[in-house]
Amino acid sequence: MTDNIKCECGHLNHVGTVLCESCGKPLADDDGQGLLEMRYDGVARRSQKANPNVLDRIWNFFSSVKVAVYLIVITLVLASLGTILRQENTFYNPALTDMEKFYREEYGLFGQIYYSLGLSNMYESWWFRGLLLMIGTSLVICSLDRVLPLYRALSKQKIRKHLSFITRQRVALQTELDPSAGPADAWLERFAAALRARRYKVHMEDGALLAEKNRFSRWGPYINHIGLIIFLLATLLRTLLPGWSMEEDISFIEGETKAIAGTPYYLKIDKFVEEFYTEEDLHESMREKGVGMPKRFEAEATLYACLEEPCGQPGTLEELARHQIIINEPLKYDNLAIYLFYYEPTDQIVWMNLTLEERDTRKPLGQFELDMFNPAPVMQAGEYEIRVTDFFPEFIIRDGAPATKSREPRNPGVVLNIAGPGTPPEGYRYLFVPKLGIMEELEDDSYRLKAEPEGNFYLSLASVDDVRLAHYKTYLSVRSHEGMWMIWLGAAIFMIGVVMGFYWQHRRIWVRLDGQSLALGAHTNKNWMSLRREVADALTRSGMEADQKDLDNEVKRS
């Protein structure tokens, strides 16, 4: 315990204490005249010690407000540089793999320099993240370094302060009480009452007074720092922990069901609705252009869990949630949220209820449902058994044989085997392409059209209701909400701290009576003019005329 300073009042203070923790007398070397440095009430901060070792040096570095400001400024300058050219991650083209070439070609020499300096992928780079980490560290260390001593100082305040402590405050007054106005104690009581009326907590001792209000406001900055720390930690966790920041983009045609990779869920989009504003809703300038403005678009979405493999066939899925997804309202389930971000018109067949007919007579033989997304392998139409043996989403002829151009069911074609009364056991093989109106028999072993068809079948639709078309292709994004509560918690705590700190001020008034001599000092963390007015007002109420200008010690001392 050798690192202590003893004050003339008898109290032992830590090394680095500026004002005695007990009586407030200035301990440091000074000229005895200027205004007191009241920061943190003059207590020693953790970091101020003799002989700092490496650990101390690092700690001191991060506990400095100057360093913190430098970090903030460097961050904001660098962040601004990242907005000059588009960042790499805003290009969605998966074929774009050579970024260096792209930046050079698109933006010239400037682009090349931009890329090589690493500015084109700045916000996820290790150095930018490192910068944010340093700010986080600074938040933790700056706060710890100050809040504990400050708490100690503010909770153990003495009422009777040293004279020089009071007279060297920024708001101060020294005067003699008028004996004819009554005893000094009585005046003190009146003053205390005036202050209590202004919601001060007043403590009195023999001939001394301490009035304090809104101490809670001092904790504001520390609370908002805690909020920021939680926020930053949450963003870190979301980046590092697997599954916490999932991002899957999937496209759906109306009526389609697809698996969501990385989850046990399946999603189906039933119908997509697009509504435009009417002519009257739009203003002239838009009407002239003839451009429509969408009023509303929503996708009817259902989320399923898989009950048994293979999933997709009816009966294998269990419905979990249903929602009309619009752009500002995703489907939420558990920790997942599914967002609609894009759509485009299309024209595809989703489902058909087909009537099997005799080709020549058009006599109906039976009906069966053909699901274009997941055709059931075997279907029954009357007495006939229909097997789907091949499926071409976008039917074309290649090298004289049926093939598909892509995976999109823009022009579906199926190869069907129709077996039943009047057919050989293995049935007749047909190629059915509804959009092209093809219903032709194929050779058994190859996919060539049979020169002399033997079968006598045809497929048709009984009514318009027997076909379901998809008019829209929707693009949805599945994201994880894991850990988001922590982000909002951090933000909320930040707001509380910042409101506490900025919308209230911590004020204290000290009075010391030595016989008829009155010394008054007051301090606040901000808003001095208001404090002066308040003190002047209270003085006036207690019977002493005073103006806020008289209390301005800064003018007198400087």
Partner 1 sequence: MKKNKKIIQFAILLAVVVVGALTISDSLSGRSYNPPAAGDKAPDFTVKGLDGSTYRLSDFAGKTVVLNFWGSFCEPCVREMPLLQGVYEKHKDNNVVVLGSNLDEKLLTVQSFVERTGVTFPILLDHTDIQKKYGVIYYPTTFVIDPSGKVKYKKIGEITDARELERFF
Partner 2 sequence: MIVQISNNALVIALTLYVLSFILFVIGVVGKKWSNRDPEAHVRRYSRTAFILACAGLASQLVFFGTRWSYTGHLPISNMFEFLSTLGMMVAIAFTVIYLIYRSPLLGMFATPVVVILIGYAAVFPWEAQPLIPALQSIWLYLHVSLAAIGEAFFAIGFAAGLMYLMRTVNFKEARWARRGVEFTVLSVLMVVGFIFIVFFFRGMGYEAQFATVETVRDEAGNELEMPSTVTYTLPPIAAPHDSEVMYMDSFLGMDKPLFETPGWMKGVNAGRKFNTVIWSVISGLILYGLLRLIARRPLGAAIQPALTDINPDDLDEISYRSIAIGFPIFTLGALIFAMIWAQAAWGRFWGWDPKEVWALIVWLFYSAYLHLRLSRGWLGAGSAWLAVIGFVIVMFTLVGVNLIIAGLHSYAGV
Q: Can you give the binding site for partner 2, defined by CB under 8 A?
A: 39, 65-66, 68-69, 72-73, 75-76, 79-80, 82-84, 87, 90, 93, 95-96, 107-108, 110, 123, 235, 247, 277, 281-286, 293-297, 326-330, 337, 339, 341, 477, 479, 484, 487-488, 491, 494-495, 498-499, 502-503, 526-529, 554
Nearest to 352 by CA among 464, 471, 474: 464
Given a contact cutoff of 8 angstroms between Cβ atoms, the answer to whether 303 and 265 are in contact is yes
The listed partner (partner 2, partner 1, none) that binds 285, CB under 5 to 8 Å by sort, is partner 2
Nearer of residues 133 and 401 to partner 2, judged by Cβ: 133
Between CA 497 and CA 479 the distance in angstroms is 31
**Ramachandran class of 32: left when φ > 0, alpha when ψ lies in -120 to 50, beta otherwise:** left
The listed partner (partner 2, partner 1, none) that binds 241, CB under 5 to 8 Å by sort, is none
Residue among 11, 67, 88, 196 that touches partner 1 (CB under 8 A) = 88
Q: What is the pairing mode between strands 384-392 and 413-419?
A: antiparallel
Range 54-62, long-range pairs (CB < 8 A, 24+ positions) = 59/141, 59/145, 62/134, 62/137, 62/138, 62/140, 62/141, 62/142
Name, in order, each residue with C-beta under 8 angstroms of 156's C-beta and a sequence gap of 6 or more.
21
Nearer of residues 95 and 291 to partner 1, judged by Cβ: 95
The listed partner (partner 2, partner 1, none) that binds 137, CB under 5 to 8 Å by sort, is partner 1
253 binds partner 1 (CB under 8 A): no
Instruction: Give the phi and the psi of residue 465 in degrees, each rounded to 5.
Output: -75, -10
403 binds partner 1 (CB under 8 A): yes
The listed partner (partner 2, partner 1, none) that binds 393, CB under 5 to 8 Å by sort, is partner 1
The listed partner (partner 2, partner 1, none) that binds 123, CB under 5 to 8 Å by sort, is partner 2
Closest approach, Cβ 140 to partner 1, in A, equals 6
95 binds partner 1 (CB under 8 A): yes
Nearer of residues 251 and 324 to partner 1, judged by Cβ: 251
Q: How far out from the chain centre does Cα 524 lie?
A: 36
**Cis bond leading into 26, ω under 30°?**
no
Residue among 407, 437, 465, 545 that touches partner 1 (CB under 8 A) = 407
Nearer of residues 120 and 553 to partner 1, judged by Cβ: 120
Helix (H) or strand (E) holding 55: helix 54-63
319 secondary structure, DSSP code: E
The listed partner (partner 2, partner 1, none) that binds 503, CB under 5 to 8 Å by sort, is partner 2
Nearer of residues 288 and 399 to partner 1, judged by Cβ: 399
- Interactions with partner 1, residue window 134-153 (CB under 8 A): 136-137, 140-141, 144
Q: Which residues of 510-535 are buried (b: 16+ CB within 10 A; e: fewer)?
A: bbbbeeeebbbbbbbbeebeebbebb
Given a contact cutoff of 8 angstroms between Cβ atoms, the answer to whether 276 and 290 are in contact is no
Nearest to 258 by CA among 271, 268, 247, 248: 268
Given a contact cutoff of 8 angstroms between Cβ atoms, the answer to whether 381 and 358 are in contact is no
For tokens 């560290």, the residue is 137
Q: Enter the tokens of residue 149.
A: 């001593």
Closest approach, Cβ 55 to partner 1, in A, equals 6
438 binds partner 1 (CB under 8 A): no
Residue among 4, 83, 89, 527 that touches partner 1 (CB under 8 A) = 89
Nearer of residues 125 and 175 to partner 2, judged by Cβ: 125
449 binds partner 1 (CB under 8 A): no
Closest approach, Cβ 350 to partner 1, in A, equals 14
The listed partner (partner 2, partner 1, none) that binds 90, CB under 5 to 8 Å by sort, is partner 2
26 secondary structure, DSSP code: B
